[in-house]
Amino acid sequence: MSSPTIFESPVNVVSGFPEDKAATRSSGGNNPKLFFRNVVSREEAKTLARQVIYPDAELVDFYLRPYSEEKLGFLGTHLCLIIVAKKPGSEECERRSFFVKTIPRDVPGQLAYIEEKGAFRKEVGFFKLLVPLLMEGYKGEPWAPPCYLIKEDTLVFEDMTCSGFGNRPRLFDEPTARAAVASLSRFHASSLLAEERSNGKPLNQLYPSLFEESEYKDTERSRAWFLSAINLSISVANDLGLDTSNMLEACKRIFDMAIPSKTKRNVVTHGDLWSSNLIFDPADRCIIVDFQLLRYSPLAQDLMQLIYLSTTREFRRQHETQLIKHYYESLEAALKLNGFKGPVPSFQELMEGVEEQRFPSLVSAVINFPTIMMDGKIGAEIMNGLDAYESYFFVNRKPFVDKIVARDPEYGRRVVEVVKELAEMVQKVESLPRPK
């Protein structure tokens, strides 16, 4: 389904000051309805100006506003920080925009769920502890955006839209998918290189708290989330006259994703690779964002989840084999460029992992497609509404989905397609390999 670009540049970088009723100046804003007023302090803005604009910059002004009318992600609030600075003795000002990610202070239910998951804590730890290790001496195209400010509840990144990056339609074409798997291979190569520099010590032993499972764990809230998603699929399948007798039990296999492999090489994995967490420039360079669901898992877990969450069944039939080969070739190239001396996971190992991860990745698509295929503005209404958020994620998704299908038949076709594929695969689930 084609969708509007939602990771768009929030400002035009020109001289002067914009009049923006949705913006609030952290240095003096007094609108109590704007919960993000104090997300970034004046001292922090001054430090950012000197770090990014001029080493001796004088801060003229700074303010925050919502990054988009649509929902860019579902585990945080996204803002645009504008900093205006000048050189000492100069009257000419320069304005820069930054992408800010912070906890969702305005949606208590969403905040409670994120805190239970430890999702924001993970991403803070990732950029504070792991990224310096992963990027030490790294050569090649970057796979993550620069992060300039790391706080317990807030991260400030370079605004990649200023370099031409943005989201693409939620279902990828072949060039977009190839760019995505190539970027993923560089991320995974960085993990292998970091472990080599650590004398082979697994990264989940260096920083165990960063790899505690966030998504598929045995808590009341996570169980409610899982059941709400699978019950929707069962309801859709029942409407289609499909056999659902073993669907719930089979889908519980997705909890295998939470366990590192005992037979395959594990790496730092992203765990949430859908279209909004991948941004691209016109030259098909790709950057990965939103590292809140980290795992320590085999290579194929991220790869298959990316493929299932961003392509159609027909696309996979035509292009999956070549995409997997392109991922592996890109992984080998990145390791070679960086002088990796350890054993490279074999292509056979990768392919065994691909088949082990196929069913969990399909279940992941079944769980997430009804949400990630939503129009961004509809998603924002649900995610930002106190009652709607609770009801959709933890009680009953069907009424919401039915309303969207009535307005967007293509959305309905995508949900039905993935449910049909699940129903077919459930019939042979006992013969499918499980991650090990």
CA–CA gap between residue 23 and residue 304 (Å, rounded): 40
Across 112-129, average pLDDT: 88
- Using one digit for the tens of pLDDT, what is the confidence trace for 142-168? 999 999 999 999 999 999 999 999 999
Integer Cα distance of 266 and 193 in angstroms: 12
pLDDT band at 76 (very low <50, low <70, confident <90, very high): confident
Strand ranges inside 254-382, DSSP E: 266-269, 278-280, 286-288, 295-298
Residues of 50-76 as b/e, b for ≥16 C-beta within 10 angstroms?
A: eebbeeebbbebbbbbbbbebbbbbbb
pLDDT in tens, 268-288: 999 999 999 999 999 999 999
Rounded to a whole number of angstroms, the distance between the first and last alpha carbons of the chain is: 34
User: For the chain, what is the mean pLDDT?
Assistant: 89
Distance of CA 430 to the CA centre of its chain: 31
Contacts of residue 160, Cβ cutoff 8 Å, sequence gap at least 6: 7, 99, 145, 279, 287
pLDDT of residue 200: 87
Instruction: Write the pLDDT tens digit of every residue in 401-432.
Output: 999 999 999 999 999 999 999 999 999 999 99
Q: 3-class DSSP state for residue 262?
A: coil
Q: How far apart are CA 162 and CA 10, in angstroms?
A: 10
| H helix or E strand, kind and range, residue 183 | helix 174-197
278-280 and 295-298 as β-strands: parallel, antiparallel, unpaired?
unpaired
Window from 7-21, 282-296, 362-376 with minimum mean pLDDT: 7-21
Of 234, 232, 261, whose CA–CA distance to 249 is shortest? 234
**Residue ranges per domain, the chain?**
35-115, 164-431
Q: Going by C-beta distance under 8 Å and a sequence separation of 6 or more, which residues neighbour residue 94?
A: 53, 54, 84, 85, 86
Contact (Cβ atoms closer than 8 angstroms) between residue 364 and residue 305? yes
CA distance linking residue 268 with residue 93, whole number of Å: 41
Of the pLDDT bands very low, low, confident and very high (cuts 50, 70, 90), residue 36 is low
In this prediction, residue 376 carries a pLDDT of: 73
Q: What is the pLDDT of residues 331-364, one digit of tens each?
A: 999 999 999 999 999 999 999 999 999 999 999 9
For the entire predicted model, the pTM comes to 0.90
- CB atoms under 10 Å from CB of 197, counted, come to 12
Beta bridge partners, 77, equal: 102
The architecture in CATH of the region 164-431 reads: Alpha-Beta Complex (3.90)
Q: Which of these, 73, 82, 416, lies nearest to 232 by C-alpha position? A: 416
Record the tokens describing residue 360, joined without a space: 């969990």
Q: How far is CA 117 from CA 110, 200, 221, 254, 428, in A?
A: 11, 29, 9, 17, 32
171 within 8 A of 316, measured Cβ to Cβ: no
> Rounded to 5 degrees, what are φ and ψ at 265?
-70, 130
